[in-house]
Amino acid sequence: MAQEYRKVAVAGATGRVGRPLVEVLKTRGYEVVPMSRASGVDVTTGEGLANALSGVDCIIDTSSSPSPEQRPATEFFVAAARNLHAAGKQAGVRRLVVISIIGIDRFTGGYNAAKVTHEKAVLAGPIPVRILRAAQFHELVGQFVEWGRRGELSYIPRMRTQLVAATTVAEALADLATGPWASSGSSRPPFPEIAGPRAENLVDMAKLLVDRRRDPVRIEGVSNAADPDHGLYESGALLPGPGATLAGPTFEQWLASGS
């Protein structure tokens, strides 16, 4: 354990990646402060932050907007960035690590555009920041099936994605938060990336998931022509770059493990 970053606060501690992150950090011997509204901490209003951050060396922000729509999501992330920097600075926090999404720079709308604004807001604050960009989580496929469910069909967007397990992302976040940080001006990638072992089609993975879970719903791939970004999802804009860290399990292995 790197002693200098002994106490780590996790914002979004009950989420898909926040929950395994808390476990990874505890297993590695860190003192962890889980933060979410369930534990009385609201990153958008600042409620509970000052108390929660007392004595904290490093914050890892994995919180997410309850709404995926661009405007509320942007408001959520900008407020969270501002409050985590302000309360963190006050408490003497020395590092802030934030999770973002691979490939979002070219997107013009929706949740991905909100995340671009999030990254800018986070980088503008006083605490030194690192941003880890991740691919879509294995755990998100089931969420897509529910979002798209209409009776006996579920409409899944056509998307190329290099799905990764949330636990794998949690390990990478913990490594980044507690490992050495090269000084700026070095050759480190501005946004390190973590993704799964291979590119997949979301529609095919949703079919595997419902088969495995014996869910009778029929999966139907769709393109949303009204979304100016739909071509980006389909052409692979969300796939990792050549410098990305790629780590298993694959989606099929993850499913077979009973997840």
Q: Which residue is nearest to ligand NAP (CB)?
A: 15
Dist CA 22 CA 12 (whole Å): 10
Report phi then psi at 12, rounded to 5.
85, 30
Q: Which is nearer to ligand NAP, 2 or 160 (by Cβ)? A: 160
Name the residue with tokens 């200098």: 4
Q: Which is nearer to ligand NAP, 2 or 14 (by Cβ)? A: 14
Give residue 45's Cα distance to chain centre: 21
At 163 the three-state DSSP class reads: coil
Q: Which is nearer to ligand NAP, 30 or 191 (by Cβ)? A: 191
CB of 92 to ligand NAP, least distance (A): 21
Dist CA 83 CA 80 (whole Å): 5
Q: Which is nearer to ligand NAP, 13 or 32 (by Cβ)? A: 13
CB of 107 to ligand NAP, least distance (A): 12
**Cα separations (Å) of 168 from 24, 135, 248?**
10, 11, 7
CB of 52 to ligand NAP, least distance (A): 10
- Applying CB under 6 A, the residues found at the interface with ligand NAP are 11-18, 36-38, 41-44, 62-64, 66, 99, 101, 115, 134, 136-137, 140
**Cα separations (Å) of 203 from 109, 141, 191, 194, 210?**
22, 9, 28, 21, 11
CB of 58 to ligand NAP, least distance (A): 17
Q: Which is nearer to ligand NAP, 117 or 253 (by Cβ)? A: 117
DSSP state of 125: S
CB of 137 to ligand NAP, least distance (A): 4
